[in-house]
Structure 1
Amino acid sequence: MTSPWRTEERRELRAMVRRFTEREIVPHLETWEDAGELPRSLHRTAGSLGLLALGFPEAVGGDGDHTDTALVAEELILAGGSSGVCAGLFTHGIAAPHIALHGSPDLVDRFVRPTLRGELIGSLGITEPGTGSDVAAITTRAVRDGEDYVVTGAKTFITSGTRADYVTTAVRTGGPGHRGVSLLVVETDRPGVSRTRLRKMGWHCSDTATISFDEVRVPASHLVGAEGSGFRQIMERFGSERLSLAVQAYATAQRCVDLTIAWAKQRETFGAPLSSRQVVRHRIARMARVTTVARTYVRDVLARWEAGDASGDLVAELAMAKNTAVEACDWVVDQAVQLHGGAGYLHGIEVERHYRDARILGIGGGTNEIMDEVVASRLGLD
């Protein structure tokens, strides 16, 4: 039986992503890391290849499914890219789906279609300085004033926030709790919008910002879906975000396994290659094992999620899959640096970048602790 990951079309997609990564990303990645952001031209190139359209409905200019998007992220990392590149280049995967699924035809035409072509960059604005995983507690307020909403508040840790042309923003249009949350598309060139770049431990090539809204007037037509439906829309998308981060985690682990095997074969100590040392051989074998287990499990959960399984068991397994992949990645990248010795600690060495980048994967999309809480709740431990 042919794996859905190994169809002829997906082999061709994988080969195309590898060529794209080796030609357009790897030679420039260190420069982008130092600059703190990706160039807009990379979005246009990815858009022209159809990579940004994957996972979106055909009705809005999309193509393919979420297995395709996972394959792209996986191969980009395996070919020498990074999870930081994935974060910066594919931010539209969290910024635009709500508009594609629930926005008006005008919003789709103005924001989604040009984003999939690489002409616009979008961000998702949920987290606030005082509110993280508790989405229902957001305080950024949008008050209706005639044909506009007036938005006041701030969002932080916003991926691609310094480059974004628009932010799909969680705002409070009603009372307290989740029923008062809505989504509103806010262009970043509107009066009253200001941005502050944030420096991070990792994901250096993925720009991150705090975005402030000081009585920003936004047309009411920029509301995504009905008032008060924002919380539900956000919850609908958490599954895909968590799976995306899980894929990045196991792909990063696999890349570090590959890099460590190559290093162990060519690095000599006391007249023999590192790969001849049993302690090294067994360490790499364990790295490969935990990576393979994580990849197999995440792919299985992704297949069931793609098939439309919305059961409570799968909700728990989405959380389990993310934590399984993140924990595997954390251990593997640590071992990769250790086995590279002093070279692994040098800035500019690939395993060092993966070590830094991996740390965010257990925080973004719901922390490891939140994932465990999701699982505990589904087990009836409330």
Structure 2
Amino acid sequence: MNTTIYDNPDHELLRDQVARFLEREVEPHAAAWEEAGMVPRDVLRRMGQAGLLGLMFEGEHGGGDADALTNLVFAEALSQSTFAGFIITVLVHTDMAGPHLHHAGNAAQKAKYLKKVTAGEMITAVGITEPGAGSDVAGIRTTARKDGNEWVLNGTKMFITNGVHADLYFVAAKTGSARHDMTMFIVEKGTPGFSVGRALHKTGWLSSDTAELVFDNVRIPEESLLGEQGKGFYSVMKNFQTERIALAAMAVGHCTQALKLTLDHVRQRQAFGATLWDKQTIRQRLSMLDAKTRAARQFMYHCAWSVTQGKDIVQEVSMLKALTGELVNEVVQTCQQFHGGMGFIRETAIERLWRDARVLAIGGGATEVMLEEVAKRY
């Protein structure tokens, strides 16, 4: 199932490299990270040293100059882990926060930060969501006003992945009265007035840190403005395409792993004188779920290929996000059901996948919002 019509030999090498990293550095230790509520920084630095934290970024800053297809191969390979807290910690850094600097940063900002980002020496987060504004990005209330040669930020961000332990934050704030008048800013950890309000305790993604961020008269220099003043909304919308393809890769990876775990289980589990695999309804339901997963995977690769062709695919990526967010919940819940009581035990991978899958129909654009994005483009 690994190959697609869009693949080349370098993609297979990347898949193998990521698989080896997961086997050596992640799987033996990630259960402890779930208990700790964070991924150790030295693991992320080793990923950076291996060249895995900036594939799409410029080579002059330590990146790989990779295209969207190669970046998807990485995200999908990473998502073969059953520890989604680790996966999202990395993907926020590489596909959701870091690209704001890659796409909108000027030469001085990239020279200052990007090499450290690709090396895993500075971990990134993106501050957009607020207590009263999630998928409705234009509804944010955090403000930034100009005061001499400084900007002053005030407001609160919510549900920020990597929020507790990041070093570098890309923050959206209103800089005018118009609904879409929004600007992105670079804020470093330790800036006076900027604090973590609280760490949030989640149902899943336990090894990723999630936080409320508070900006109380945070003063930053004018060179911290990221991109064009007043154009931040469009920057966020552009980056959503990369983010949503990465989240689709997580969903497809969860589906693939859940099906593998469940096929192994039902072939061994005895019930009423035969294995579960001998029950026609179980064989057929798993077959259909595998068919849906394979179809979604091909659509995902088509979307990434379309990005490399410079096509406008907001509608298709919105479809993909809605489709995979719902599919992963269908697949994982069915697979958990076929595990019986063991599927409800914390130590099992299928229970972890079940908890972690739920948010994929919510985060990065809830299913209902994605379907509206699809519908208004007909």
The answer, yes or no, to whether TM exceeds 0.5 is yes
* 1:136 corresponds to which of 135, 138, 155: 138
Task: Report if aligned partners of 2:82, 2:254 keep a CA contact under 8 Å in 1.
Answer: no
Task: Report if aligned partners of 1:298, 1:322 keep a CA contact under 8 Å in 2.
Answer: no
Corresponding position of 1:298: 300
Q: Does 1:342 pair with 2:341?
A: yes
Show CA shifts across 1:313-342 (max 9, x none).
Answer: x22111111111122211100011000111
Letter in 2 for 1:288: D
Corresponding position of 1:220: 222
Show CA shifts across 1:222-263 (max 9, x none).
Answer: 101221111111111111111111111111101111111111
RMSD: 1.5
Cα distance in 1 between the residues matched to 2:203 and 2:193? 29
Cα distance in 2 between the residues matched to 1:5 and 1:42? 30
How does 1:52-201 map onto structure 2 within 5 Å? 52-63=53-64, 64-78=66-80, 80-92=81-93, 93-178=95-180, 180-195=181-196, 196-201=198-203
Q: TM-score, normalised by structure 2?
A: 0.95
Letter in 2 for 1:373: E
Letter in 2 for 1:362: A
Show CA shifts across 1:23-48 (max 9, x none).
Answer: 11111111111111111111101101
Letter in 1 for 2:344: Y
Letter in 2 for 1:98: H
Deviation at 1:62, TM superposition (A): 1.8
Deviation at 1:101, TM superposition (A): 2.0
Q: Which runs of 5+ in 1 are unaligned?
A: none
Task: Report if aligned partners of 1:153, 1:212 keep a CA contact under 8 Å in 2.
Answer: yes
Cα distance in 2 between the residues matched to 1:139 and 1:176? 12
Cα distance in 2 between the residues matched to 1:30 and 1:277? 33
Corresponding position of 1:38: 39
Cα distance in 2 between the residues matched to 1:275 and 1:4? 32
Letter in 2 for 1:42: V
- Aligned to 1:205, the other structure's residue is in SS state coil
Cα distance in 1 between the residues matched to 2:228 and 2:364? 24
- Aligned to 2:29, the other structure's residue is in SS state helix
Cα distance in 2 between the residues matched to 1:322 and 1:59? 32
Q: Percent identity?
A: 38
Deviation at 1:77, TM superposition (A): 2.6
Q: Could you tell which deviates more after superposition, 91-100 or 231-240?
A: 91-100
Cα distance in 2 between the residues matched to 1:331 and 1:372? 18
- Aligned to 1:91, the other structure's residue is in SS state helix
Q: Which runs of 5+ in 2 are unaligned?
A: none
Cα distance in 1 between the residues matched to 2:91 and 2:286? 31
Large movers: runs of 4+ above 6 Å: none
Q: Could you tell which deviates more after superposition, 122-131 or 293-302?
A: 293-302
Corresponding position of 1:267: 269
- Aligned to 2:333, the other structure's residue is in SS state helix
Show CA shifts across 1:138-194 (max 9, x none).
Answer: 11111111221111111011010000112100011222311x210100112111111
Corresponding position of 2:329: 330
Cα distance in 2 between the residues matched to 1:296 and 1:85? 25
Corresponding position of 2:243: 241
Show CA shifts across 1:3-57 (max 9, x none).
Answer: 4554221111111111100111111111111111111111101101111111223
Q: How many residues align?
A: 373
Show CA shifts across 1:185-222 (max 9, x none).
Answer: 01121111111100111111111000001111111101
Q: Could you tell which deviates more after superposition, 361-370 or 54-63?
A: 54-63
Letter in 2 for 1:99: L
Show CA shifts across 1:275-327 (max 9, x none).
Answer: 122222112112211111111111112211222101xxx22111111111122
Corresponding position of 1:230: 232
Cα distance in 1 between the residues matched to 2:139 and 2:285? 45
Q: TM-score, normalised by structure 1?
A: 0.94
Cα distance in 2 between the residues matched to 1:102 and 1:4? 32
Cα distance in 1 between the residues matched to 2:230 and 2:55? 29
Deviation at 1:72, TM superposition (A): 1.9
Q: Could you tell which deviates more after superposition, 246-255 or 95-104?
A: 95-104
Cα distance in 1 between the residues matched to 2:44 and 2:295? 33
Cα distance in 2 between the residues matched to 1:49 and 1:4? 27
Corresponding position of 2:355: 356
Cα distance in 2 between the residues matched to 1:61 and 1:22? 25
